[in-house]
């Protein structure tokens, strides 16, 4: 019996020991495990990069697109002191390879460099590539600043060269007329062909009728139809129609104590801004002091284009950097600048406009009116495309009524056989053709010479 109680006591002790061990293990794990808060109670951390909304700049911010791409960064190199007594360090010689005579080998890593030792002859004559680059940049900058301005060609040289171009472009007209008139007996059908040839050249009905009538009289009186005689008669008749006695001078000289003011007008696409730039070259070649006014504020590149033309010959440009600015205000400022700078002439470029748009024509009238508050306008030049034919005539009439045109500039005269527009436009406006453009070169604008023009047509 005693033995049984001993066994039960052992079993009870073992069970108690096991329970105590389990309890201790559970308590130990609970002390090591961190308490994890419920997900619902976790406060999210705000991160700007995770926002989904679109970035909106403030009203005063804009992107500057004028900055060009910067070059890749170059590792800085210690420059030599001015007294040239410091030797290059190991880093210096390792970073940049010297382009001249080889210097002494750089000290190995960990070797102490004696900074007080004198330079060797090779080191003293060695060229720092950064110094060379800086010198080249300085020389380039100086060259750009002192770049010689372009020297425009003289008017005499222009006419010799341009006469050849005009002759090539109008050869068909001259040869066609001479072939018809010197072909023997001239019947009604032959005279109709002569009329058609003149009309196709844009001489106009009135001028054509006068020329044919006068030629008929000469031939009926003298009875000669040889090519030389007919050519002489035709030359005289055409020259009379062109008007050799018309005043083709351009008012581009100072009037008293003020500069002359020239307003340049025309429709889109006639080469108006280019003509203003070329005219500036003509005047500079005649030793005129010129200033440009970029009053074409509606075409984005017009002011830049005009400024480029002026910069080639050292002529300043008055402009507005604001697209769509008031053209009358720009023109007014240009005249003011010309007066204050004591210039000889102010050239004002205006925006191209269709002649059938009443609002735009009224705006051009406003430009003229505002400028005249500061100074009289001495010249109003109408730029016409010689290839437009009768449409150009309608343009001339409308512009003449709006701004009192005083002279005509015919562009692209070398690109058409319709050189008769010179006669037609002069009859319509009662003003002379003063300048002609015969190419895309910077000096392909010249004073109109009636004699040279007729010779070129008939040669």
Residues making up the binding site for GTP: 266-273, 349-353, 411-414
Write the DSSP assignment of 3-54 as a string of letters: HHHHHHHHHHHHHHHHHHHHHHHHHHHHHHSPPPPPGGGPPPPP-GGG--SP
Please give the structure tokens belonging to residue 74.
């170059």
DSSP E strands in 274-366: the ranges are 290-295, 317-318, 345-350
CA dist 175 and 231 (Å) reads 10
CA dist 285 and 150 (Å) reads 10
Burial profile 186-217: b = 16 or more Cβ within 10 angstroms, e = fewer: beeeebebbbebbebbbbbeebbebbbebbee
Which residues, listed in sequence order, are joined to residue 317 by a DSSP beta bridge?
292
Please give the structure tokens belonging to residue 447.
């004073």
Distances (CA, A) of 18 to 4, 26, 242, 261, 388: 21, 13, 132, 117, 116
CA dist 161 and 155 (Å) reads 10
CA dist 275 and 287 (Å) reads 18
CA dist 301 and 304 (Å) reads 5
Task: Mark the binding-site residues, compressed into ranges.
Answer: 266-273, 349-353, 411-414
CA dist 432 and 33 (Å) reads 105
CA dist 337 and 332 (Å) reads 9
Distances (CA, A) of 132 to 76, 122, 126, 135, 445: 15, 17, 11, 5, 45
């Amino acid at each position: 019996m005693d033995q049984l109680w001993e066994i039960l006591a052992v079993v009870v002790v073992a069970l108690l020991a096991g329970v105590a061990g389990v309890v201790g293990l559970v308590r130990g794990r609970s002390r090591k495990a961190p308490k994890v808060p419920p997900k619902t109670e976790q406060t999210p951390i705000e991160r700007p990069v995770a926002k989904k909304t679109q970035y909106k700049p403030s009203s005063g911010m804009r992107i500057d697109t004028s900055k060009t791409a910067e070059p890749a960064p170059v590792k800085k190199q210690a420059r030599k002191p001015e007294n040239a007594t410091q030797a290059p360090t190991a880093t210096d010689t390792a970073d940049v390879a010297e382009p001249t005579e080889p210097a002494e080998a750089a000290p190995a890593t960990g070797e102490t460099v004696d900074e007080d030792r004198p330079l060797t002859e090779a080191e003293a004559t060695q060229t720092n590539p950064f110094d060379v680059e800086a010198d080249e940049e300085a020389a380039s900058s100086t060259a750009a600043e002192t770049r010689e301005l372009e020297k425009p060609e003289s008017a005499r040289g222009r006419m010799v060269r341009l006469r050849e171009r005009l002759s090539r472009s109008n050869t068909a007209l001259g040869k066609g007329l001479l072939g018809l008139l010197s072909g023997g007996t001239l019947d009604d059908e032959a005279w109709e062909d002569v009329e058609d040839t003149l009309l196709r050249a844009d001489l106009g009905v009135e001028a054509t009728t006068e020329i044919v009538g006068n030629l008929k009289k000469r031939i009926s009186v003298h009875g000669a139809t040889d090519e030389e005689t007919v050519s002489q008669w035709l030359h005289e008749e055409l020259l009379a129609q062109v008007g050799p006695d018309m005043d083709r001078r351009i008012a581009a000289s100072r009037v008293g104590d003020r500069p002359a003011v020239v307003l340049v007008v025309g429709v889109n696409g006639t080469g108006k801004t280019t003509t203003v730039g070329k005219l500036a070259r003509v005047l500079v070649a005649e030793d005129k002091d010129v200033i440009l006014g970029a009053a074409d504020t509606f075409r984005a590149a017009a002011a830049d284009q005009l400024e480029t033309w002026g910069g080639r010959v050292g002529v300043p440009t008055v402009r507005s950097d604001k697209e769509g600015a008031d053209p009358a205000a720009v023109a007014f400022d240009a005249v003011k600048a010309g007066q204050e700078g004591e210039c000889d002439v102010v050239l004002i470029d205006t925006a191209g406009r269709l002649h059938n748009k009443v609002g735009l024509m009224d705006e051009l009238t406003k430009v003229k009116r505002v400028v005249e508050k500061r100074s009289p306008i001495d010249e109003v030049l109408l730029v016409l495309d010689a290839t437009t034919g009768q449409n150009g005539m309608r343009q001339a009439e409308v512009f003449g009524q709006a701004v009192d045109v005083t002279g005509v500039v015919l562009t692209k005269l070398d690109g058409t056989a319709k050189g008769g527009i010179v006669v037609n436009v002069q009859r319509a406006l009662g003003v002379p053709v003063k300048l002609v453009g015969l190419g895309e070169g910077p000096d392909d604008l010249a004073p109109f010479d009636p004699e040279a023009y007729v010779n070129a047509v008939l040669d």
